[in-house]
Structure 1
Amino acid sequence: MSAPSFTATTTADEVARAFTEQIRGKNVLITGTSLNGIGFETARVLAKDANLVIITGHNSERLKLTEETIKKDVPGANIRPLVLDLSSLAAVRKAATEVNAYAEPLHVLIHNAAAGVGPFALTVDNLEKQMATDHVGPFLLTKLIAPKLLAAHTAAYTPRVVVVSSAGHALCTGIDLSTVAHPDPEKYIQSDAYCKAKCANILFASELSKRAGGKIKAYSLHPGAIFTNLNSSVEAKQGLADFGFLTADFQPTDKLAWKTQPQGAATTVAAAFDPRLEDKPGSYLFDCVAANDQIAPHASDSATAAKLWTITEQIIGETFTF
């Protein structure tokens, strides 16, 4: 079979069909799988061939809706719901304990969940909500369930961690490392906070791949511009309007090439299973292919990545080693 070729309009289903053999029998955990989001679509297409798909969310009723909807579409799907609130370190620890009690190893961890754009808010751990939900929580979860990922490592297979970032990372000047552990409302701009969190995603994936030394391979990606439940709030719409992506009355402008949800989930599936990425750990994907030239300089600086890693370890009070 010739190598599949993907474009901006490729759907998650099309990517999954191309990599059916790679998906078959795998156990995958996906964060942020509510209906009307790309995490849901990712879970739905993978459920057709994966051995187990673990879906997460902080609302158990919405999780149940996701599970029922996937099983209606894929009757034989093995879906396991996991309550997870990434904005709380205690909640992340509780969820990780549950995952570590599972009998199965974990082949792929997909960090899809993100906080919606909004005004300055502190979490229960006194962290800024965007950075906590998009970076610190996922960092801690990865650290705590790394043994499950390492248990899936064989001579023929290397487990993967996929982090959904955004091309929006380039719209800021980079992370202010001084505010990661000590948020400053005076410096907070809501659209800027989203971009900084997306920078953290890219820095985390590249540094994770580096430190894992081949035991785990991590990738970050831009899913495309998709209108999901994440950006349906007035605050999120205003943030998009501030960038010129929506008009004053919140209608799409031609500054972005909008994707459907099936198209928006495609790059996540590629990052999780495309074997052509094996020799490209730490890569950033755009339209289903590695595109490191699309990373802004402030999100590709190795010194910043190392400093962010250390700061995050200090926040969670644990050292992340392999």
Structure 2
Amino acid sequence: MSEPTFSFTTTAQEVATVFAKEIQGKNVLITGTSVNGIGFETARVLAKHANLIIITGHNSERLKIAEDTLKNEVPSANIRPLILDLSSLAAVRKAAAEINAFPEPLHVLIHNAAAVIGPFKLTVDNFESQVATNHIGPFLLTKLLSSKLLASGTTHYTPRVIFVSAKGHIFCDGVNFSTLERPDPEGYEPLDAYFRTKVANILTAIELSRRSKGQINAYSLHPGVIMTNNMQRGDMVDSLKKLEILDENGRPSDKKHPWKTIPQGAATTVAAAFDSSLNDKPGAYLDDCVEANDTIAPHASDSANAERLWVLTERLIGESFTF
């Protein structure tokens, strides 16, 4: 059988069809699954083949809409909704305890959720809200679910953790370790803070793969530039204009950054979760459904940065992550 050919325009449905056998029988948890987002589209295409799809969200009404829509579109799907607020360590621990009480092992954990890119805001734990939701919360969730992930491993299957990052990680100079621990409203810029969390996603995938010594394979990815509600917020428009993601009128511009549809945007997540050719590439970064490690910025691939971030994050959550 020849290797599948994926491209910029490949959709999540197309990838799921190629890897239907790999998806079959798997239990998958996806964070951030509101309708009209790439997390929802990921859940929709996987639900046709998987044994169980756990969808999460911090808003019970939106989560119910997502559950009902998925069950309507895929009547055979086994969908299990779960309230999860990644901005609160206590809420993450509560959700993890619920998941750990489920009888099934967990094959794939997909970190898709992201905080609103907006003004400086502290969480209940006194972390900056974007880094809490995009990095610290997911790190803690992975740690707490690691036993359930490891339980799905066999001689023929290695569980996976997927981090939806962004190519925009190249637009910053890396993780700011000092403000991670001591948030600073003075130097805060919303889009810059977002890009730094995307660096953290890449570094965490690299370090998780290294530390697990083959027991868990982690991957990060760029989904593409996709129109979301976040991009239409007033405080975001000016920043996106500077990067020429939006034109002077605030409309999508493909002069420097071509745009993807939501089905195209979810494609790389599905590939990262189920492409068996990635088995020998733990920690890889994907773009357009294929490995693209050569496009990672140096500050996001540096092993010393990855280890430093891991150790600091353990301190912030008050728990050691061991295997």
Task: Tell me which interval the TM-score lies in, with the shorter structure as reference length.
Answer: over 0.9
Contact 1:35–1:66 (Cα < 8 Å) also in 2? yes
2:36 corresponding residue in structure 1: 36
The aligned residue for residue 303 of structure 1 is 304
Determine helix, strand or coil for the equivalent of 1:162. Answer: strand
**Aligned partner letter, 2:239:** G
Instruction: Indicate yes or no: 2:243 matched with 1:243.
Output: yes
Equivalent residue number for residue 131 of structure 1? 131
Query: What is the Cα deviation at residue 176 of structure 1?
Result: 1.2
Distance 1:87 1:248 in 2: 33
Deviating runs (4+, > 6 A) in structure 1? none
| Deviation (angstroms), 1:135 | 0.2
Q: Cα 1:296–1:234, aligned 2, differ >3 Å: closer, same or farther?
A: same
User: How big is each residue's C-alpha offset from its partner over 1:138-166, in whole Å with a ceiling of 9 and x where there is no partner?
Assistant: 00000001111000010110000000000
Aligned counterpart, 2:280 = 279
Quote the offset at 1:20 in angstroms: 0.3
Instruction: Please tell me whether the aligned partners of residues 37 and 229 of structure 1 are also in contact (alpha carbons under 8 angstroms).
Output: no
Q: Distance in 1 between matches of 2:200 and 2:21?
A: 32
1:97 counterpart = 2:91: no
* Residues in 1 aligned to 2:148 and 2:75: alpha-carbon distance in whole angstroms: 27
Q: How many residues align?
A: 322
Q: TM-score, normalised by structure 1?
A: 0.98
Q: Aligned AA for 1:289?
A: V
User: C-alpha deviations, 1:232-266, integer Å up to 9, x for none?
Assistant: 32233333223221123311122211000000000
Q: Quote the residue 1:223 is aligned against.
A: 223
In the aligned structure 2, how far is the partner of 1:244 from the partner of 1:260? 18
**Whole-Å separation in 1 of the counterparts to 2:60 and 2:232:** 21
Contact 1:115 1:230 (C-alpha < 8 Å) held by counterparts: no
Give the 3-state SS of the residue equivalent to 1:258 in structure 2.
Answer: coil
Q: Aligned partners of 2:72, 2:19: CA distance in 1, in Å?
A: 23
Residue number in structure 2 paired with 1:51:
51
Q: Deviations over 1:75-123 (max 9, x none)?
A: 0100000000000111000000000000000000000000121111111
The answer for the alignment partner of 2:321 in structure 1 is 320
Residue 77 of structure 2 is matched in structure 1 by 77
Larger deviation, residues 255-264 vs 228-237: 228-237
Structure-1 residue corresponding to 2:181: 181
Which residue in the other structure is 2:158 paired with? Answer: 158
Find the aligned partners of 1:249 and 1:137 in 2 and give their Cα distance: 36
CA distance in 2, matches of 1:285, 1:249: 32
Percentage of matched positions with identical amino acids = 66
TM-score between the two structures when normalised by the length of structure 2: 0.98
> Which residue in 2 is equivalent to 1:268?
269
Shift of 1:189: 1.2
Measured in 1, the distance between the counterparts of 2:238 and 2:123 equals 22
CA contact (8 A) 1:38 1:228 kept: no
Aligned to 1:258: 259
Residue in 2 aligned with 1:17? 17
What amino acid is the match of 1:313?
Answer: E
- Deviation digits for residues 170-215 of structure 1 (CA, Å, limit 9, x no counterpart): 0011111111111111121111101101000000000000001100
Q: Distance in 2 between matches of 1:160 and 1:230?
A: 28
What is the CA–CA distance in structure 2 between the aligned matches of 1:199 and 1:165, rounded to whole Å? 7
What SS class does the counterpart of residue 25 from structure 1 fall into? coil
1:202 correspondence with 2:210: no
2:181 counterpart SS class: coil
User: What is the letter of the counterpart of residue 302 of structure 2?
Assistant: D
Take 1:182 and 1:130, find their aligned partners in 2: how far apart are those partners?
14
Letter in 1 for 2:111: H
- Letter of the structure 2 residue corresponding to residue 256 of structure 1: H
Kept in 2, the 8 Å contact 1:117–1:239? The answer is no
Question: Where do 5+ consecutive residues of structure 2 fail to align?
Answer: none
Q: Is the 8 A contact 1:30 1:53 kept in 2?
A: yes
